[in-house]
Structures are given as structure tokens and as C-alpha cells.
Structure 1
Amino acid sequence: MAFNISRGYCMLSFSLKTFAILFFLVAGLFSVPVSSSACTGMRVIAKDGSVVWARSMEFGNYIDSALMVSPHGLQWTSPTPNDGHGLQWTAKYGFVGPNGFNLKVPLEGMNEKGLYAGGFWMKEGETKFPGVKPADYPNTVAQTHIIAWLLTNFATIDEVKAALPKIHVAGVEVEAIHQVVLCHWYVMDATGKAAVIESINGEVTITDNPVGVFTNAPSFEWHLTHLRQFINLRPDNVDSAQIGDYKALSLGEGTGLLGLPGDFTPPSRFVRAAVFANSVLQPDDADAAVALGMNLIAGFAISKGISRGVGGDGKPEYDYTQWTTVYDFARKAVYVRTYENQNYKVVHFDKLPMDGGKNLIIPLGQDYGTYEDVSDQAR
């Protein structure tokens, strides 16, 4: 991705009083309740066609996740509003992916065929699910079960596009957090082809994703439009600039990306992820792609206390990166690390009972990691 520099500047003159007012207005933002909406995902495609997806999960309080191992052949039933029964289906494919709050549905995951699906939190007012009548319940999939429906039924983006218009999408309350969770979804197949599923103003759409990254609110189309404001950015350094008779020399590396947003809001993370994922040197193979995905997503980790808010119960919340996943589509493996344990663990599909009769769980926990002692290697 190449970006050309082209900017306009304006100069403002502030009185000390004006500066003080603005300072306290900005500082006041830190006491405003914030939602947990800081997840980021990035695609990597190697020269040999190997595909990798790296994603972080942020939330304001501990969500108690574990890796679900869900076999093919399992029976699924979606809930509906008013405690009804929605679409029922039998899983064609098994999948692996993390859940949350001990729920029996994934927050994201990859299936046996290499289809990935993941939900990304949306703020209230940014998305709206369609109204669904009781007569439509037998063909309704709740937003809580969209990911499971996608992972257990489809192998490619084209299949998803063909099937999505045939169902109704409804919003149901998640008892663990006492609210109708709002989200939009990123879907990608083993070729790296990606799409975004959203419900804006009650209309469900699926849109191709040409940049291979994703975050939270607003809508995907808004993010693409916003990206146009940063077409000046490029990975190549700027050594100097002539300003009148003065030659300004660069202060170091990274001058081509001056102006890249560095905060943790969804729009800024989207821009940063798009620039990073599409500027890095393309890796040779799956091993290099996995390593690159781990390095890329590490730059989006949020430590406790950097993002502060107040929850619905009036207690402080600290949005932080609870876990990070890296999916190897070529070799069907999932790497995962937690906030406490920064050492990645790996799960290989070919070592799992994908033809079992029930969901299995691999704990993630909050234990701190152990580190290899290489003291005896000193020479």
C-alpha cells in the first residue's frame, strides 16, 4: 500500500483561558463511561498462498473464555426473542474458537474447511437488528448464534453470500451481561477472501472486505471512507523537506507514517491496522505468516488502565486485551495467548475429536506464564 503526502494545515491562536477550558473538556472524557469495543483483526497472506488471521479480544471486565472444540454432526438450535425456538440445524463442519461467560457459543472461530467468523462489538445506535415476527422464528438465527451458524454450515464466502438472505437475524439478550449484544461480523475463507456482515437500520448486508482488517463501530463502509483521509501515509521514510531557506531533516525512522492515528478508538485502530497489514513485507510461507500475524497484532494490545470507564453497575471498568488468537488456515491450527500468559499455546485440528458427540472445552485461565530458562546457554 502506498500513500502520498498531501496535507493542509491551519494555525490557531489560543488564549490561556481558552486552552484551560479545552484541557478540562478533554480531561473530562476520562470519566465518561466507555463501552468495551476495542477488538482488532488483521489478515496475512504469504507468497505461497498460506492465510493467517490475527485478532485481539478486549473487554471491560473478565469474560472467562475457553476454547470450544465443537464437532461436526452436533445439533444446534438458535434462540429467538421472547424465549422462542429458532432455526435448527445439524453441523456439517466442526470448529475451534473461544467463547465467553461460559456460554456454549463461540465469539469467533475457524472450522475444518478453513472458514473464519468473528463478532466485533458495536455501540448502541450504530447497528439495529431487524424486527422478527413469531411466524419467522423457525428460520431465525439470533445474533448470539450467527458465528456458530456460519462455522458449522459453510466452507467459502460464496456459500455464505448465497445462504445469508435466506435467514432472519434477530437480537436476543445475553443474560450474563443483561443486554442485547450489538455486533457486526468478519468472515474469511481459506483463500483469504473476506466479507463483512452487518445489520444497519434493520437491514442485513454482506460486503466484500478489500483491506483484510476489521474493528468495531461505526459501519464498515464508514471505515473505508475514513481511510481515504490517510492516503498520504506510506512506509517509505521522508529524509528531508525544504521549508523556505530551511532544510528540515528527519529525526529518525518512521517519517513516512507521520500522522498515523495512535489511539485505541475503533476508527484509529482500523486505519492503523489497514496501513500495517498492507505495508509489511509479504512472508514466504505459513511459518513466516504466523510469526508476522503475532507481531502485527501485538501492536494493538491494551494494558489494564489505559482505557478506563464505568460499567452499568457504576463500578470502574478497564478495557484490556484478554486474549489474542492467530489462525493458521493452511495447517488448520489456532494459536492463543492470554493477558497473563504471553506465551502462545497451539491447538491442531488433526489432533482433535472432530467427530465427537459433544462440545469440548480447553481452558485458557488467568495463570501467569512460565518462561524458558536459558541461563545455562551462556558461553
Structure 2
Amino acid sequence: MSHSRFNVTLLLLIALLLACPHGAQACTGMRVIAQDGSVAFARSLEFGFPSKSDIMVVPRGMQWTASAPDGKDGLQWTNTYAFVGPNAFGLNRPLEGMNEKSLYVAGFWMTTGETNFPKVNPADYPKAISQLDMCAWVLSNFATVAEVKKGLSKQKLTGVTLEAMHTTPLAHWYVMDKTGKAIVIESIDGKIQFSDNPVGVVTNAPYFGWHLDNLRNYINLRPANVEQFKLGEYTVRPLGEGTGLLGLPGDMTPPSRFVRAAFFANIAIQPTDADSAVTLGMNLIANFSIPRGITSSVDSEGKRGYDYTQWTTVYDLSRKALYYRTYINQDYKVIHFDKLPLNGKKQHTIPLWGVKPTYEDVSQKTQ
């Protein structure tokens, strides 16, 4: 696809996303670090209309051209590292992914108007990377969080604005390397900020620092159950399990999901190795799955949409594997890096969207 044609298609699809209030407002990501140092990351992707995602398999040596404002070309590069990750709407851009150096990056959509991207002068367009190119650029070029921070400081992050709608799709990014070190990259009031992520989780709006401060409202939460106590002459006894987490927010808003994810990911019993890290990641992220119909909104034409979990991914950074499942196919599939074509001049895709489950029939395996 030519860059000009890509830009037109991309803008049309983003216009569709912005015209409909049922966008990706409920994504959640969670880190797991095992006792042996193995690292996994689990993420859910929510949209209010079909993303039709497939897994991109991008070998080394592919040519890229970023988008700049005013429909112009931005930074051009050749990817040093191969990577895999899901796209959306059939576009040649990943929403997240992991490269052959076990660097992971994911974009998490923010509410439009929450903040703004830096302004870039036309003279700087050759160094410009739009928010839509961020994941591909990071996966193509870097092996560690430190390299990403250094590399981005030399470029110009910008937002592609849709003049017809007077708005710019907003996002922030979670970046993590194989050591488990994680940062969040954001544009706050037109300035790029890097924030260390000590809890290893991420959701959507507002900005990351706000989410960390908000954890102070839940300082009383503990995994241990509360003991019974005397209230006057009456003995107050716990109803059952979970009294230590009474007050944990259960709604689907980004702040509430962040609090739940931060507690779940950091109080769960630490796994011992990569296998158990992946298993824990799968179990943790299952708590954030949104069935279709649980949340809804109405667009400007009165049409109701339902934000729901369209796919879930779990990345094994230690052994370079990607596990994924979809709304209609709850059986996890796995992609191993060492079995992929990492050299060559052609990108590949692995079907994700619309693949129906095949349930194993164990009726005849009675013992």
C-alpha cells in the first residue's frame, strides 16, 4: 500500500472511530514477574465495533514511513528487529506487539480532549512520528526501555489531526523490556513525559500520574480477610471471603480498572517460572473481560453501541511467545518467535478475527 493511500484509509477509519463514541475506552494491561525473573504481560482490547484484527508478522528490513500533520510524510526508517502484534481494521500498523529482543509496547486510547500532542513545525516533519506509528517505530528499532527513551528524545512525536472533526485521536503507551522495567509515555500539555511504572499496570484516561495518586484512596485494602470485632454488644462477623478487599471498585471505568489491576497483579502469589507467569497472566486478565452488553453508549444518530473485549493477549517476554484468544474463541492459541519467518521482504498475517473455536470432545475419555 502506498503511503498516500495508507494515509487516506487511515484517516477515514479513524474518523469512523471518532464519529462513534464506542471506541477503545476499556483496555487493561498487567505485568507479571516470576521468581526466576521471567516476565509476562497480559492485555485486553475493547472496542464498540468490530476491530477485525489479525496478527502481523513483520520480518527485519521492512521499510516504513510515518504520518506527519497536514497529510505529509514523516520519519522514514527500516526496521532492525522483527516483531509480531495485532493490527486493526486491516491496517499495516500494530496496536501493540513484541519484538525479537523481547521489547513490548502497547497503545492505550485516551479520551479525546484529555490532553494534546506537541506541535511540530513543517521543517521537523522528516523527524515526526505520529501517534498512529508509535508502536511500529518502537518495535522496529529498540531492545530496551532505556533505548526507547533515548531514541524518542531525538524525534518529534505528533498527533495526526482530523480537521473535519477538529480533533486528534489521543493515546499513551506502555513500554516494557525483558527485565520487567516498564514506563508510560504520554504527551501532557504538549510535552512528552516518561513515567516509571512501579505497579506494572495501565488502563486509559486520565494520565498515568493521576492513577498512581488515586491508589492512595484505597490504602486500606489488603488481601487478608478482616477479623470479627465487637461493635458495642454486637459481634460483627465477616460474611465470607474477600473482606480485606471490601471497597475495591468493580465498575468498568479506567480508574476503577486501574485500581483492581494494580492490586490483583501485585498481591497475587508470585509465580515461580515462565509457565506459571503466563498462567497467572491469563487468570488475572480474565477478571477484566467485558461481555457484550455490559456497557453501552449512544452515538449522535441515536445508535446504541456496546464496548466489549474483542481479544486478549498474553506475552511471554522470556521465551518470546504470544498467546491470544478472542471473544468468540476462548481457547488460547500460541505463536513462537523461533518458528516465524523473521527475514525476508514480505510481511505475513496470522488470522485472529472470526476464527471459530474447535472444542475437544472428551466424551469417550471416561476412566
Tell me the TM-score normalised to structure 1 length.
0.89
Contact 1:35 1:309 (C-alpha < 8 Å) held by counterparts:
no
User: Partner residue of 2:152?
Assistant: 164
Report 1:41-52 matches (<5 A): 41-52=29-40
The corresponding residue for 1:70 is: 58
1:299 aligned onto 2:287? yes
The answer to whether 1:99 aligns with 2:87 is yes
User: Which string of whole-angstrom CA distances, capped at 9 and with x for unpartnered residues, describes residues 320-370 of structure 1?
Assistant: 000000000111000010000000111110010111212211111223312
Asked whether the equivalents of residues 76 and 88 of structure 1 are also in contact (C-alpha less than 8 Å), the reply is yes
Partner of 2:356: 368
* Alignment correspondent of 1:36: 24
Counterpart of 2:308, as a letter, is Y
In 2, distance between residues paired with 1:364 and 1:33?
24
8 Å CA contact retained: 1:290, 1:326: yes
Is it true that 1:266 corresponds to 2:254 in the alignment? Answer: yes
Higher CA-based Rg = 1
CA contact (8 A) 2:23 2:49 kept: no
2:29–2:201 CA contact under 8 A, matched in 1 = yes
What SS does structure 1 have at the residue aligned with 2:88? Answer: coil
AA aligned to 2:281 is G
Q: Deviations over 1:41-96 (max 9, x none)?
A: 00000111100000000011001100000111111110111111111111110100
After TM superposition, which residue ranges in structure 1, 4 or more long, deviate above 6 angstroms?
Answer: none
Which residue in 2 is equivalent to 1:207?
A: 195
For the aligned residues, what is the CA RMSD? Answer: 1.7
Cα distance change of structure 1 residues 178 and 65 upon mapping to structure 2, 3 Å threshold: farther
Q: 1:236 aligns with which of 206, 224, 234?
A: 224
TM-score under structure 2 length normalisation: 0.91
DSSP-derived class of the 1:376 partner: coil
**Offset from partner CA, 1:223-252 (integer Å, 9 cap, x none):** 000011101001001131221221111111
Q: Does 1:188 align with 2:183?
A: no
Paired position in structure 2 for 1:253: 241
With 359-368 and 191-200 compared, the bigger mean Cα shift is at 359-368
Assess, with a 3 A threshold, how the Cα gap between structure 1 residues 179 and 356 changes in structure 2: closer, same or farther. Answer: farther
- Residue 136 of structure 1 aligns to a residue whose secondary structure is helix
CA distance in 1, matches of 2:166, 2:345: 31
Give the whole-Å Cα distance in 1 for the aligned partners of 2:110 and 2:364.
50
Aligned residues: 347
- Following superposition, the deviation at residue 33 of structure 1 comes to 5.5
How many Å separate the matches in 1 of 2:223 and 2:170? 35
Percent of pairs identical after alignment?
A: 61
SS at match of 1:277: helix
Aligned in 2, Cα 1:149/1:174: closer, same or farther, shift over 3 Å?
A: farther
Distance in 2, matches of 1:51 and 1:107, equals 20
